[in-house]
Amino acid sequence: MLWFLLLLLATGGLILVLGEDQGTIAGLDPATFAGVVTGGALLIYFAASLAGSYRGRLSQALKDFTVWVLLAFVLVAVYSFRDEVTLVAKRVAGELLPPGETVVYNEGERGERSVRVRRRPDGHFSVRTQVNGATITMLVDTGASSIVLRPADARLAGIDVDRLNYSIPVQTANGTAYAAAVRLNSVAIGPIRMDGVDALVTKPGVLNESLLGMNFLRRLRSYEFSGEFLTLRS
């Protein structure tokens, strides 16, 4: 077998040398022809090695061959339906999603994105957002006209809360409080990103958690509350 392979490679090399000036060899360019010869030699070598290892065990060889064929078929089938498989996998991930975490379960041809968020045990929806690059969890509040940040979250987003002017009255469950207007460089939920978003920062003790208000939600293509999930579409 070794001599046969050496002879095959030597013959291929000789054909390459003799046919160098012809441009193509058997309809192939020289580089492709060299690859075919080398690949063929390797294939013969591995096939011969396998045949030797299964000598006298034809039934076992057939079983193993069948298994490999089935595996190859499954891989080809999964690749052929990769878009559908990806969609199913993302929907399953959404069902197992912890509250506040997001999963992208649909991507449109024009860059449209859809994100799902699971409801919290208390019935509210909170989302993990990136505000100016900082990770902040916000309560989704359709009753809030704007994004409202707690001072601690505003500091995480790089805002100097000590220099803000708290002069804007806001209504809370405990009555009227005062907040300061700021402009956020970016707010992102998963792949959904918005730049230049207005927000308010409250004084300490006013909010238990930051709010994701309507000035963000209105800029989405749509948002939908359905059962245990909130779906945001860019």
Residues 220 and 155 in one domain: yes
Whether 184 and 156 share a structural domain? yes
Q: Looking at residue 213, what DSSP letter applies?
A: -
Same domain, 171 and 55: no
Write down the residue that tokens 């299964």 correspond to: 54
- The alpha-carbon radius of gyration of the chain (Å, integer) is 31
Whether residue 157 is predicted with pLDDT greater than 90 in this model: the reply is yes
Please report whether residue 8 resides in a domain: yes
- Shared domain check, 121 and 26: no
- φ/ψ region of 2 (left if φ > 0, alpha if ψ in -120 to 50, else beta) reads alpha
How many angstroms from the chain centroid is the CA of residue 103? 9
Q: How many separate domains does the chain show?
A: 2
Out of 80, 108, 139, pick the residue that ends a domain. 80
Sign of CA dihedral 86, 91, 95, 97: positive
d(CA 194, CA 201): 18
pLDDT at 47: 67
Torsion of CA 137, 139, 142, 143, to 10 degrees: -120
Q: CA-CA distance, 87 to 107, in Å (whole number)? A: 9
Are 21 and 51 in the same domain? yes
**Are residues 221 and 189 both part of a single domain?**
yes
Between 164 and 30, whose confidence is greater? 164
- Residue 120's pLDDT is 86
Task: Say how far apart CA 63 and CA 69 lie, in whole Å.
Answer: 10
Same domain, 55 and 119: no
CA atoms of 120 and 99, how far apart (whole Å): 5
Q: How high is the pLDDT of residue 103?
A: 61
Same-domain check for residues 109 and 166 = yes
Same domain membership, residue 195 and residue 106: yes
Q: In angstroms, rounded to a whole number, what is the distance separating the alpha carbons of residues 145 and 159? A: 21
Domain-ending residue, one of 27, 45, 80: 80
Q: How far apart are CA 101 and CA 127, in angstroms?
A: 6
Please determine, for residue 17, whether its predicted confidence score (pLDDT) is greater than 60. Answer: no
Question: According to the per-residue pLDDT averaged within each range, which of 39-43, 56-60, 109-113, 168-172 is highest?
Answer: 168-172
Tell me the sheet residues that pair with 129: 136
Residue 156 pLDDT > 70: yes
- Check which CATH number belongs to the domain holding 190 and give it: 2.40.70.10
| 85 found inside a domain | no
Domain range for 51:
2-80
153-177 average pLDDT score: 90
Residues 218 and 116 in one domain: yes
Give residue 195's pLDDT.
96
pLDDT band at 77 (very low <50, low <70, confident <90, very high): confident
pLDDT of residue 125: 92
Is residue 164 situated within a structural domain?
Answer: yes
**Nearest one of 83, 84, 177, 186 to 132, comparing CA atoms:** 186
Which residue, 25, 48, 80, sits at the end of a domain? 80
